[in-house]
Structure 1
Amino acid sequence: MARTLRETIPFRLTYQHQSFGRCSRERMSVFLIALFACLLFHQDLAYLLDRTCEGHVELGPKITAGIDARYYDTAWMASLYDGKREFVGGGSLISKRFVLTAAHSGAKNPQFVRLGEKDRSCQISICTAVKEYTVQRFIRHPRFDEHSSKMLNDIALIRLTDSVEYTDNIRPICIIVDDSVHFPEDMFVRAYGWGLTTTTTTELSDVIKTIRLRQTRPSECYDSLHVNLTDSQFCAGAFLGGDTCNGDSGGPLAADFEYQGKTSYVQIGIVSYGSTKCNTKGVYTRVENYQKWIVDTVQMYEERLVYPDCGSEWHGDIAVRLWEMTLLQRTIIGTLISDRFVLTVASDLPTDVTKITVRSRYHTDEIRVLKIDKHPKFSPSSKSKENNIALLELAQPVLIQDLVKPICLTVNSTPLKTLTALLYADNRRILGLQRQQLARIDNSVCSTKTGLPVEPNQLCVEKPSGYRYDLPGSVLGTYKEVNGVKRYLLVGIISHIKNGVIVFTNVQSFEDFIKEKVVGESMAVTSTYNQWTSPKLTYRNPPGSKNNI
């Protein structure tokens, strides 16, 4: 980034703010998110997206052109890498699971994000403060159009597979969520990145660089770049020379800003595009115009409970299978996941819905089933019993009470770390449920032991001795903190058992199926990586990329 910091002209969009009062949505899950946004923007609940973000601490001298930024506090800076771990651009950490970047950065298919990195030449084994995370989803703004000459909506969010652990070297940048806040049109900002420091070379900077820029009139970008900007973009340049350049795409532009009586280091823009010569004004995405989209997207993809009034404890820490339902004369176990749906295995279920009822473990009343939804890709003849999962829609809601409660089930889950089953011992002198921690068997080992194929959406454990744990549909779970409360979460249900090994249907692999049926929300997210062509302007991608717009 030294004297040239962005890529060549990336774009962003003119996002027309609709009334945040429109809080009715067709589907419940979307409605809840809309309601959150309405409360957020219309009941004075203005706030920082992640309140743990901190003010800026500059440990180095002020600069007027691109210089070494190692001694600046850049704990929020993210570096993006493709599957070969080649650097593809920058971004900024905005919460424990999300990185903000440019939409056009998706063209390089980023697969990994490094946080706490200042010198890219330093190996992670040596620079132990650097942490690498896997990209789970690349979420471009829905109105980003790579074919538009206006290059609008150049903004995207990266959802990480694991939650980030904040340290002295890794913290989020501040994102103000308050539609009454507008930044000055002529404010000074700082841009950060590892882009080219001169156009006479194709070598990116190993060390993070920074440059001080000032927002200018849109007409100045028209004069130098011949582009008309929208109100969701801004023009900026360095008066004493310097620019963002190739390799800086997606990086943040930030400034100190006093908000709610505190000075915070706030992200103002995102490096989008500019001149191929990297020596004039550049175009940047205006982050404040995307507050609502950022909040909605983070809320949509954050880990959350399918049914909040869930639980597996009774009067304190006593584990009870409050969610357990029996069906087909107690030959199959079902699991209540909401007041209207029971999750179970697809195998052995009848096709005639009138032949099946469910009964709570602690109540004698039978509940009629309205509809049976087997997974569309389940095949009874499959040796592996792949996709062995089904949902039973009940004819009437279950009364949620002390001894009847859905199991906790999350969507947008993080990877498993432990597995726990709540089991009754064969020895009847041992009273109550016992928490048994189980070790997962590698799927290839499981296949060898069972003599059956094991699919990616299945998982295996050794059958614990001395416990009753064999009915299809029986639950495997994990203890985890969700929204500040430790909960027992559903992980899998028994599909079949062979040679002392239990094969489970991994429920986390069927988020889309469950959400579509239970809350009417499909999780499918299209991450299409695009290329751009243009004779004059380029995104700030690294050299060798297809930068032209």
Structure 2
Amino acid sequence: MSVLSSALFAILLFHQGLAYLLEPNCKGHIELVYKIQAGENALGYHTPFMVSIYDNTRKFIAGGSLIHKRFVLTAGHVISKDLKFVRLGEKDRTCQNWNCSIVQEYLVDKAIGHPGNKLLFENDIGLLRLNAHVEYNKAIKPICIIVDDEVKFKDVKKLRAFGWGRTASTEKLSDVLKTILLNREDPSACELSVGATATDHQFCAASADGHGDTCPGDSGGPLVADFTYEGKMSYTQIGIVSYGSQSCNASSIYTDVASHQAWIAEMVHTHEEHLLFENCSSQWTGNIAVRLWETTILKRTVAGTLITDEFVVTVARAFQTNFTDIKVKGKYFEIEVAQIIKHPEFSHSRGSFKNNIALLKLKNKVKMSDLVKPICLAVNSFPSITFTALLEAYNRSVVGLQRINFTPTKDCSRTIGMPVESNQFCVEQPRDYKYKLPGSVMGTYKEVKDVMSYLLTGIISHVKYGMLVFTNVETYDDWIRKNIM
């Protein structure tokens, strides 16, 4: 099965009746460690899903909730280019990492806002993708997000909000996590306090005892409640703090999570780490390394690599003139090329190549078998830190492919006399192995969704002064996906 588009995913999700918890390992029933007085201080609540969000000056921006091992849910209006990192396991923001061992920091590597968040905060929702998978523990665990179009939460009347916002309209932000119990109100109740009626994507709520409200600084934080789903009671996110009155003592507008569940699931599916093509492999039974994806082009002067059943990745430098009747040759197939897609910013000068990557669309799909399969390519992945090539030795007494590890050379630019670009990396050329053909693969062994795979990381761009310069294929995953859809 090839790449599953976001639109198709949404159709499958709701028209085939799929329903599930976004993260099965989510927070269970609420626990109280000790009694909270006045319902304000939240230190006694077990809130492992709470997230504090900071900008590039380390200034606190907003709250959020951990909903997945790589995603934080927050309000769309807090998303900006200045968002830098989040802290998990934090309750007291004066607690620094060095003396607060349970707190973990993660960088934000992508902010995803809802495209409909334009007028009156109607779709005031966003996701932050983190730069690494969160390690769950007792102090850090996601809140439950139910993905089921039959679940609406309208009968859930009492909700608990958490945040570090101001405790009154004139006070500074709270260092300590606070909480307040809210009652869901009629949508028109917010007309008096904020001059707007809650839409179908929002709801209106106010303090259960008539005193207090969420306040500036609480934006993005979760509204939660115990909810029974498929026979199990779990602490579930119902809403997101959106906006309210400056008095912090009246009804406010909250984003309705249930009406955005399809969007949340679609965005997580689209932007989480996964394989470009599921039916991929680089080994046989017994963990024998094989290059099932290997092809050659232009009379075996250039290597190509199957990344799906109808696309090959290779170097753009091979197609600097117009070719016709190009064929991709594998050990067990030979197929004509229907289209050459060079990177639009490919360039070369004095032996140096930039954006040296191209895709070849085949006229016919390759028939998959135990002898022919694409290489695995992870999208939305983390930068690789280890590199392994599957190579043949010049010495014929060495049988089969060898797993040869490489370390990128930091002073490569000085050796080759030209810059190594941010989307390239460089290693020393091995003496005893056949490894210099443009387009040849460098990979890494990594787990994707708990399955260990050999993943494509780069292809040889050019060789100079005994150094192999690679195009870092991982940095082109957006371009690759755009062109194979």
TM-score, normalised with respect to structure 2: 0.95
1:320 matches 2:290: yes
Partner of 2:188: 219
Residue among 223, 228, 231 paired with 1:253: 223
Aligned partner of 1:80 in structure 2 is 53
Superposition map of 1:238-317 within 5 A: 238=207, 239-317=209-287
Match of 1:155 among 115, 125, 137: 125
Alpha carbons of structure 1 residues 108 and 423: separation in structure 2 relative to 1, 3 Å: closer
Q: Which amino acid aligns with 1:61?
A: K
- Which of 431, 436, 439 is the equivalent residue of 1:470? 436
Q: Residues 331, 428 of structure 1: CA spacing in aligned structure 2 closer, same or farther, 3 A cutoff?
A: same
Q: Distance in 1 between matches of 2:224 and 2:405?
A: 47
Q: What is the distance in 2 between the residues matched to 1:182 and 1:329?
A: 61
Name the structure 2 match of 1:434: 402
Partner of 1:540 in structure 2?
none
1:447 aligns with 2:416: no
Q: Secondary structure at the match of 2:48?
A: coil
Contact 1:101/1:157 (8 A) holds in 2: yes
1:37/1:292 contact within 8 Å kept = yes
Structure 1 position 466, deviation (Å): 2.0
1:281–1:495 distance in 2 versus 1, CA, 3 Å: same
- Residue 46 of structure 1: CA displacement? 2.0
Instruction: Provide, for residues 7-39 of structure 1, a one-character-per-residue CA deviation record: whole Å limited to 9, x for no partner.
Output: xxxxxxxxxxxxxxxxxxxxx856x44444344
Structure 2 Cα separation of the partners of residues 486 and 155 of structure 1: 34
Mark the CA change 1:376 to 1:226 in structure 2 (over 3 Å): closer, same or farther: closer
Structure 2 Cα separation of the partners of residues 312 and 29 of structure 1 = 19
1:441 positional shift: 2.7
Identity %: 54
CA distance, structure 2, for counterparts of residue 219 and residue 354 of structure 1: 67
Among residues 40, 49, 54, which one is paired with 2:27 in the alignment?
A: 54
User: Is the 8 Å Cα contact of residues 271 and 380 (structure 2) preserved in structure 1?
Assistant: yes
1:45 to 6, 18, 25: 18
Q: Does 1:189 align with 2:159?
A: yes
1:167 matched to 2:153? The reply is: no
Q: Which residue of 2 aligns with 1:378?
A: 346
Secondary structure at 1:517's aligned position in 2? Answer: helix
Write the letter of the residue equivalent to 1:117.
E
Asked if the contact 1:460–1:501 (Cα under 8 Å) also holds between the matched residues in 2, the reply is yes
| Alignment-mate amino acid for residue 117 of structure 2 | F
Residue number among 329, 352, 359 corresponding to 1:359 in the alignment: 329
2:467 is matched with which residue? 501
Distance, in Å, in 1 between the alignment partners of 2:93 and 2:114 is: 29
Other-structure match for 1:404: 372
Match of 1:458 among 407, 424, 437: 424
Distance verdict in 2 for CA 1:405–1:130, change over 3 Å: same
Output the CA distance in 1 between the equivalents of 2:321 and 2:371: 30
SS in 1 for 2:324: helix
Distance between the aligned counterparts of 1:366 and 1:351, measured in 2? 22
Structure 2's unaligned 5+ residue stretches are none
* Matched letter for residue 254 of structure 2: Y
- The amino acid across from 1:374 in the alignment is K
- Unaligned runs of at least 5 residues, structure 1: 1-27, 520-549
Q: Give SS of 1:385's match.
A: strand
Q: TM-score, normalised by structure 1?
A: 0.84
Rate the CA distance shift 1:197–1:422 in 2: closer, same or farther, 3 A. Answer: same
The counterpart of 1:423, out of the listed 376, 388, 391, is 391
Instruction: Give yes or no for contact 2:391–2:403 (8 Å, CA) kept in 1.
Output: yes
Partners of 2:146 and 2:240 lie apart in 1 by 15
- Answer with 288-297 or 214-223: which moved more: 214-223
User: Mean alpha-carbon deviation: is it higher for 317-326 or for 372-381?
Assistant: 372-381
Give the conservation status (yes or no) of the 8 Å contact 1:345–1:472: yes
Distance 1:236 1:60, change over 3 A: farther
1:64 touches 1:211 (CA, 8 Å); kept in 2? no
2:453 paired residue number? 487
**Aligned partner of residue 353 in structure 2, secondary structure:** coil
Tell me which amino acid in the other structure corresponds to 2:377. Answer: L
Aligned match of 1:180: 150
Work out the CA distance in 2 between the residues paired with 1:108 and 1:393: 36
Q: Which has the higher contact order (CA 8 A, sep 6+)?
A: 1
Deviates more, 1:103-112 or 1:69-78: 103-112
The alignment partner of 2:346 has SS state of coil
SS in 1 for 2:354: coil
1:210 aligns with 2:184: no
1:236 pairs with 205, 230, 245, which one?
205
Q: Which moved more, 1:278-287 or 1:459-468?
A: 459-468
Q: Report the CA distance between 1:90 and its aligned residue.
A: 0.6
Q: Which residue of 2 aligns with 1:542?
A: none
- 1:161–1:415: 8 Å Cα contact kept in structure 2? no
Match of 2:76 in 1: 103
Tell me, yes or no, if the aligned pair for 1:353 and 1:372 is still in contact at 8 Å: no
Q: Is the 8 A contact 1:137 1:160 kept in 2?
A: yes
Find out whether 1:91 has 2:59 as its counterpart: no
